[in-house]
Amino acid sequence: MGVSGLQLTLALIKPDVHAHPGLYQHIVGTVLKNRLLFVRSRVLRWSRQDSASFYGEHEGRFFYNRLVGFMASGQMSAHILAGEDAISRWRQLMGPTKTFRSQFTHRESIRGQFGLTDTRNCTHGADSEKAALREMQIFFPEFDAKTWWKEQSEFFKEGRVHFDEGRVEHVPVGKVHSDEGRVENTPVDRIS
């Protein structure tokens, strides 16, 4: 797991949320309030083929075609999140898969509040460390997790990061040396 308790996970914010920019901002805010940090973010749009292969494990289920079509229906975003027990904490924030159940049983969760249907349920979260690694590679092939753990994880663990709203990413600050050997002295957003 690396630095004690710190974990990385892969989150998707699905097209139903991106159809409403205000809701996207709100969910980003929910992540931040819950002390999860954005390591990488990108906005993208899937082809049906991308969608079908990512959700291949569900092939044959009654909702598969609906799911594949929905995930290729518009813009979405992928995020690498860091935090204490990030995998389970992000899934907890999301709420259970089925929106119509979550609306009664987990009313504070993202799906409980904003899910439209059992398929259009706002978000995805990797469900294990193995899935998180695999999914991070799918969306961020250039992201080198080993180097991140070695060079950046301490900054994230200690909250020595600044949130770049435009990029929707936290950037390490405090001890970052530029090429000229200057020490950047950007203010620090304390996380804890």
Q: Confirm whether 124 is a catalytic residue.
A: yes
Output 73 or 121, the one with its CB closest to ligand ADP. 121
**Which of 18, 106, 124, 170 is flagged as catalytic?**
124
Find, among 1, 9, 30, 40, the residue nearest to 135 by Cα. 9
91 is in an annotated binding site: yes
**Residue 113 touching ligand ADP (CB under 6 A):** no
**Residue 119 touching ligand ADP (CB under 6 A):** yes
The residue from 51, 102, 113, 121 that contacts ligand ADP (CB under 6 A) is: 121
**Residue 100 touching ligand ADP (CB under 6 A):** no
Range in contact with ligand ADP (rule: CB under 6 A) among 27-35, 75-83, 114-122, 177-185: 114-122
The residue from 127, 129, 144, 184 that contacts ligand ADP (CB under 6 A) is: 127
63 is in an annotated binding site: yes
Residues of this chain, 57-96, that bind ligand ADP according to CB under 6 A = 58, 63, 67
Count of residues touching ligand ADP (by CB under 6 A)? 9
Q: Measured from the CB of residue 58, what is the shortest distance to ligand ADP in angstroms?
A: 6
User: DSSP labels for the chain?
Assistant: --STTEEEEEEEE-HHHHTSHHHHHHHHHHHHHTT-EEEEEEEEE--HHHHHHHTGGGTTSTTHHHHHHHHTSSEEEEEEEEEETHHHHHHHHH--S-HHHHHHH-TTSHHHHH--SSSS-SEEE--SHHHHHHHHHHH-TT--HHHHHHHTHHHHHHT-EEEETTTTEEEE-SS-B-TTSPBP----B---
8 A C-beta contact, residue 46 and residue 13: no
135 burial class (0-12, 13-18, 19+ CB within 10 angstroms)?
A: buried
* Residue 147 φ then ψ, to 5°: -65, -40
54 is in an annotated binding site: no
Output 57 or 165, the one with its CB closest to ligand ADP. 57
The residue from 40, 79, 106, 124 that contacts ligand ADP (CB under 6 A) is: 124
Residues with active-site annotation: 124
Q: Contact positions toward ligand ADP, by CB under 6 A?
A: 58, 63, 67, 97, 118-119, 121, 124, 127
Q: Which residue ranges make up the annotated binding site for ATP? A: 14, 63, 91, 97, 111, 121
